[in-house]
Amino acid sequence: MTRKITTIVAVSKAVHFKEPAQNYTTLVYVDGLSKSKRHEYGSQLRKLGVPTKKVQGVTKDENNSLTRLADAIAGFVRDALAKEQKDAEKLFVQAKADKYIVEV
């Protein structure tokens, strides 16, 4: 799958994982998303049932604490799933068991 498709599917799964009971909209921030792709991402997400209020690209991720956190968690999960670092793998299993991390 292309990066675009996997990102859209991942966002959709994450939003639908635990939807609120009431009407809601989402604000979606994608690392490195160009202005020209915002409309396309928003359109595809709405087709998957994600009510988007705003789709925004983040370019200077070092200035955005939430982007840095998401990047760190993604790196941790990648290391754990690669099964090359036993400490990361063990911590990942524990985090999932304690529901700090949810696989969607």
The residue type found at 77 is V
Q: What is the pLDDT of residues 86-101, one digit of tens each?
A: 999 999 999 999 999 9
Q: Are residues 38 and 51 part of one domain?
A: yes
Instruction: Give 3-state DSSP helix, strand, coil % of the chain, rounded to 5.
Output: 60, 10, 30
Q: What is the pLDDT of residues 12-66, one digit of tens each?
A: 998 988 878 888 999 998 888 888 899 999 999 999 999 999 998 877 666 778 7
Q: Are residues 21 and 4 part of one domain?
A: yes
Q: Are residues 31 and 9 part of one domain?
A: yes
Chain-centre distance of CA 54, in angstroms?
Answer: 15
CA distances from 33 to 30, 37, 42, 96, 100 (A): 6, 7, 12, 29, 27
The residue with greater pLDDT, 70 or 3, is: 70
For helices 3-17 and 35-47, angle between their N-to-C axes, nearest 10 degrees: 50
pLDDT at 42: 93
For the chain, the domain total comes to 2
Q: Are residues 68 and 53 part of one domain?
A: no
